[in-house]
Amino acid sequence: MHQNFEWKVKRSNKTTLHLVCIIGNCTWKLRVVRRKEGTYFQVRSFVNEHTCPLEEIHRRHRQASAVTIGEVVAPRFQQTDGRLMRPKDIMADMKTMYGIQIMYSKAHDALQYALSLTYGTHEESFQLLPSFAYVLEQQNPSTITDLQCADNGKFLYFFMSLGSSIRCFRRCMRPVIAVDGTHLKGRSGGTMFVATAQDGNEDF
């Protein structure tokens, strides 16, 4: 990928994988065969030399899929200044490091895959909510949580109020409550509502 050479599958089945360069007259090829005594594959022939003309090399690499790029950027998508990489950062890095031009949509998909590798998928995060609520109540006395799902198991809403916030509201806060909400960005969507109280300095 670094040299912008691309390959395609000439033959693929349960016992054989044969790869060739996408340029028809190039000599590069790789052929592996599955060994009979196990699940391992053995390289039978490998010509690691490209004879295709440089002018026929494409800058938009077919092997540079969103999954492949995501695996490349996952270890460093959180940059040194603490800011997460953006799709434009991935586009610039791929061009600088590998000389590959990728579309914004592919860079966006690669970033989402890198995030899922590091933090898990949206589905996995929702599945952790019951455990999160349990630990939250065990480690924070008087904390209240409530997780509601539809009959088919689909997430409806999650409520939490820390015990320390409840005690503080009863003892220290003025009887003024402010409620605000915001729409959540991302594939799952949703809305977050937050309730706060006013302290003695009239701050929320």
At which residue do the structure tokens 């690499």 appear?
61
Q: Which domain holds residue 172?
A: 125-198
Q: How many domains does the chain have?
A: 3
In tens digits, the chain (204 residues) has pLDDT values of 555 666 677 888 888 888 888 777 787 888 898 887 777 888 888 888 777 765 555 555 566 778 888 888 887 766 555 577 889 988 888 888 877 788 898 888 898 888 888 888 888 888 999 999 999 999 999 999 999 999 988 899 999 999 988 888 887 777 777 888 999 887 778 899 898 887 766 666
Q: What pLDDT is attached to residue 204?
A: 63
Residue 84 in any domain: the answer is yes
Same structural domain, 76 and 97: yes
SS3 158: strand
DSSP string, 44-109: EEEE----S-GGG--SS-TT--HHHHHHHHGGGSB-TTSPBP-HHHHHHHHHHHH-----HHHHHH
Domain final residue pick, 120, 142, 169: 120
Same structural domain, 166 and 114: no
Same structural domain, 132 and 191: yes
Domain final residue pick, 120, 143, 161: 120
Domain final residue pick, 57, 80, 99: 57
Q: What pLDDT is attached to residue 170?
A: 80
Residue 101 in any domain: the answer is yes
Same structural domain, 188 and 141: yes
Q: Report which DSSP code applies to 34.
A: E
Residue 203 in any domain: the answer is no
Same structural domain, 184 and 133: yes
Six-digit token pair at 53? 């003309």
pTM of the model: 0.54
